[in-house]
Amino acid sequence: MMKYDVIVIGGGPAGMAAALKAYEKGCEKVLIIERDKRLGGILNQCIHHGFGLQTFKEELTGPTYAQRYIDRVNDTTIEVFLNTMVLDINCEKIVTLLSPKLGKLEICGETIIFAMGCRERTREAITIPGNRCAGIYTAGTAQYLLNVEACLPGKDVIILGSGDIGLIMARRLTLEGANVKAVFEVMDRPGGLNRNIAQCLDDYGIPLYLNHTVTNIIGDKRISAIEVAEVDRNRRPIAGTEKYYECDTLLLSVGLIPEVELLRKIGIQLDKTTKGPVINDKMETSVEGFYACGNVAYVHDLVDIVTIEGEIAGHNAAKYVNKELDNTSNVKVGNGNLISMVVPQIITNKDTILRYRVSKFIKKAKLKILDAQGNEKYTKNVVNLTPAEMHHLSLNLDTSFTESIILSLEEI
Amino acid sequence: MIKKMICIVCPNGCSMEVEKINNEVFVRGNLCPRGKEYAINELISPRRNIASTVKVKNGVIKVVPVYTAEKIGKEKIFTAMEIIRNLEVEAPVLMDEIVYSDDYLILKASCNVERRK
């Protein structure tokens, strides 16, 4: 059986960063397994600008950011299996894979790095009633069809969800001649960046309706109209506010979920708040020698952070292979008041960065670290925190005296 | 008259208030000087970067993503899209290679496209 020091599952920005770092730190046998016919991951279809401001000090398109890493991988002896799907993986780190070139094969890694990214929530996941007709796509699928397969998904489009993917597709479809009639958002604030509201909607006169959702889908073989209604503060549709919009396409931009099916098989501990695995600041999961980085760990906003964390995973996988194990204390991190999620969930190193999301828009608050007894160990004033972005806190903790901490917000 | 605008230069997306008094432009709400520059240009002549895809002949993928090397006037966006629609390039294509150039529009490839075997 072929043996590797590090097997990376997924060749997007997370997997490539992890593989490159492991290689740089002395691992000789590094393998990236990628299901697509090329490396790059989701960046291959994100043809717009906005990537790499932190990493490269300039804003690149997605494919350019990916190409820079692909070029580096090609300059190493890192092996790459393309068109290859991982079917199974077990606790002994035996990976079963399938590809036209290799057939069905079992290989073994001393360490495994998960970098499979995430998938999109579907119409079924949010249970929109009505006809199950053609013409309903998740925004990412529509982006793939348009930017990779050169296929226009539809001509009269409605978009549900004002996260960045929905906004970017509103612009992209308009540029290609489609009529994007409206974007509906169930919350009272847009889900994506302000600048995307400006350059994707305002620039093209596309209206955004907050506090609205799609309540019915009408069509026969293909969608022909949607019913929308206003929602109340609990996001329930208000009777009597229904309106109808004719369309031949509905795009859904309603959330991303880490692709953790392979992790479940190994019994890796998952976190309900992130939908990804519980990870520590080494990007290691609850099972030794298994690491996770990129969107499979938790859903990211910036590819620059994906790259940083991929490198952390790769570096620590290399340390494990080289038997350079650090000693470690494990401090659990929990999410407290107004914090919907915080990563990593376990800290082993006293110099660490916590990344978190808030559960509602907060103008002014005290960000606090509380210990297990509820004592304030640290506090800092923060302003203008939005749920749409991840925020971070650099910490220097005295880990030997703390068993667990809670990150919490008190509004002022 | 105070005009409200959102700066698109970086992910901060500062909400700004812009006022032109006599021949001077006053900007409030920007966290950096690039915001003021953006606001002034937006009043005089709004320009944008766009990204699209161009057909590739004999490549391993059907289309290559392209981007505008320099911002173009907002009013020229759909003319640019028409040019892009009629373009075709031959593989191999290299990242940042110029795939089209005229007085108003310079398009570069976003990534490599290998030639199909």
pLDDT in tens, A343-387: 999 999 888 899 999 999 899 999 999 998 889 989 999 998 988
pLDDT of residue A372: 87
pLDDT of residue A388: 85
pLDDT of residue A400: 60
Flag residues of chain A having pLDDT under 50.
Answer: none
Distance between terminal CA atoms of chain A? 60
Residues of chain B with pLDDT > 90: what percent?
Answer: 89
3-class secondary structure for chain A? CEEEEEEEECCCHHHHHHHHHHHHCCCCCEEEECCCCCCCHHHHHCCCEEECHHHHCCCEEHHHHHHHHHHHHHCCCCEEECCCEEEEECCCCEEEEEECCCEEEEEEEEEEEECCCEEECCCCCCCCCECCCECEEEHHHHHHHHHCCCCCCCCEEEEECCCHHHHHHHHHHHHCCCEEEEEECCCCCCCCCHHHHHHHHHHHCCCEECCEEEEEEEECCEEEEEEEEEECCCCCECCCCCEEEECCEEEECCCEEECCHHHHHHCCCECCCCCCECCECCCECCCCCEEECHHHCCCCCCHHHHHHHHHHHHHHHHHHHCCCCCCCCCEEEEECCCEEEEECCEECCCEEEEEEEECCCEEEEEEEEEECCCCEEEEEEEEEECCCCCEEEEEECCHHHCCEEEEEEEEC
pLDDT of residue A402: 78
Query: In the predicted model, what is the mean pLDDT of residues B26-31?
Result: 93
Mutate to test the interface with A, among B47, B86, B111 (most CBs of A within 10 A): B111
Nearest CA in chain B to A171: B50
Residue with tokens 């939005």: A386
Question: Would you give the DSSP letter of residue B36?
Answer: H
In A, residues 283-302, which contact B (CB 8 Å cutoff)? 302
What does residue A3 show for φ and ψ, rounded to 5 degrees? -115, 140
- Hey, what amino acid is at A340? S
pLDDT of residue A399: 60
Mean of all residue pLDDT scores within chain B: 95
pLDDT of residue B109: 98
Do residues A395 and A368 lie in contact, with contact meaning Cβ atoms separated by under 8 Å? no
Are B74 and A203 within 8 A, CB to CB?
yes
Quote the minimal CA–CA distance from B90 to chain A in Å: 16
Residues of chain A with pLDDT > 70: what percent?
Answer: 99
ipTM above 0.90, yes or no: yes
Task: Give the residue numbers in B contacting A (CB under 8 Å), as ranges.
Answer: 5-15, 48-53, 55, 60-63, 65-67, 74, 77-78, 81, 95-96, 110-112
Task: Report the alpha-carbon distance of residue A3 to residue A158 in Å, rounded.
Answer: 50
pLDDT of residue A401: 65
Are A47 and B112 within 8 A, CB to CB?
no
CA B28 to the chain's CA centroid: 25
Pairing of strands A103-114, A2-9: parallel
- B1 pLDDT band, cuts 50/70/90, is confident
Which among A63, A193, A198 has the least Cβ separation from residue B111? A63
**pTM of this prediction?**
0.96
pLDDT of residue A256: 96
Chain segment A244-291, per-residue pLDDT in tens: 999 999 999 999 999 999 999 899 999 999 999 999 999 999 999 999
pLDDT reading at B12 higher than 90: no
